[in-house]
Chain A
């Protein structure tokens, strides 16, 4: 297995493509050049740092350092979930729900794949555990963010319908069911879209990386299929847990709708741009 190694100087020429984007932004007055510059610098710094961190972790093969890295990844994922919410839950659950569901879903699915399919030695080997967790986390996070966003916005928008059902003696589950279904559909949709388009519209990043690294395409495909199954499972589990948990938190034991447990929309920002970003997915 051989691959063409890159040096940092090999990246200088391709980086001018980003400079070209910046120039376009200036010429067309898109006012994106500052954001583009910040995003580019962040990307470079973050990836280089991750490269060194992973090198250290792969050399250490320590359960403690692997668990710490996984924990930090989950913390960042839960922060991202909160940042992407137009309306957030109040109190502990602002972060607690997203973090709990992400940990539950991505952790379960990652452990499942390590213990049943990949069997690395030791089972927590960071070379397998962390990339797997990272890919599953990224997609689970997207599903949970979308699911919770549609849930909270749906309940605010459909308040009259939910309360009409409750007023007629419906349980909180019956009253919330239409909104819960919408939220679950939204959470699952990026994964389903990604699965349907994969290979035809796009070659996934992980598979491309393996092929560039010299892996036989059919072996890379097998890995990619494993990842896609894990992503589908993790996203399904995480979205289900987050949406059902969110539904429970936004009602109470007396089957009342509790919109007072949602913070007001801090920005009034339109969320559609984030949805567009989510729908592209990342594998």
Chain B
């Protein structure tokens, strides 16, 4: 279970719990701070508050290890090497996942420069899914995808949720929020979240 107590980052101040095998859909207007919240939970920006995973304080865990367990996936993933496979610790193990996401198995040698936005988004997600994290913080993970690819992503994440992964899924798509979320949080202008009925 992920416990977020009095997490403060700029104007954001929130407390909530995320159970294992649960997906919280996170909605709110653009610029309200949804990404900031997800990044703060992953400890990518300075923030205050007590964040615990299964009762263990985040500060007691080395940051790289924390992020392998509580993984943030950006809407526009970054790339630090030239080819796709250089971004995976075990490319051969990732091929089935990549194939499920609709990309050919030989895309490992593709140059990052030639990837479309949608391909980048799916590969960014595949890269994070390979970590088998306890918690996934998905920041608009299907914003650049067509309906078919979106459905594939939703089904893969649903399998992870069924196997116990906790997910916070930020989306502007209300229909998607209702499809994927077991709870719905709406973030307001003041940086507070309210739980809404699904």
Contact = CB atoms under 8 A, between A and B. Distances in A.
Interface in A118-177: 158-171, 175
A162 B80 contact: yes
A: interface residue count bin: 20 to 34
Given A175-B80, A256-B45, A164 B63 contact: no
Interface string B5-47: 0000000000000000000000000000000000000111110
Given A161-B78, A161-B79, A167-B71, A256 B43 contact: yes
Interface stretch (B96-104, B123-131, B143-151, B165-173): B123-131
A140 B78 CA distance: 33
A221 to B, nearest CB: 43
A29 interface: no
Size category of the binding interface on chain B: 20 to 34
Contacts of A161: 78-80
Contacts of B77: 160, 164
Contacts of A253: 63
A124 B34 CA distance: 62
Interface string A249-271: 00011111110000000000000
A4 to B, nearest CB: 58
B50 to A, nearest CB: 15
A254 B74 CA distance: 19
Given A162-B78, A164-B74, A254 B68 contact: no
Nearest to A260: B46
A172 to B, nearest CB: 9
A170 B44 CA distance: 12
B73 to A, nearest CB: 7
Contacts of B60: none
Interface in A178-196: 178
12 contacts: A160-B79, A162-B78, A162-B80, A163-B78, A166-B44, A167-B42, A167-B44, A167-B67, A167-B128, A168-B128, A169-B67, A252-B46
Given A160-B76, A165-B78, A167-B128, 19 more contacts: A158-B80, A160-B74, A160-B78, A161-B79, A161-B80, A162-B78, A162-B80, A164-B74, A164-B77, A164-B79, A164-B80, A166-B67, A167-B73, A168-B71, A169-B65, A170-B64, A178-B80, A256-B43, A256-B46
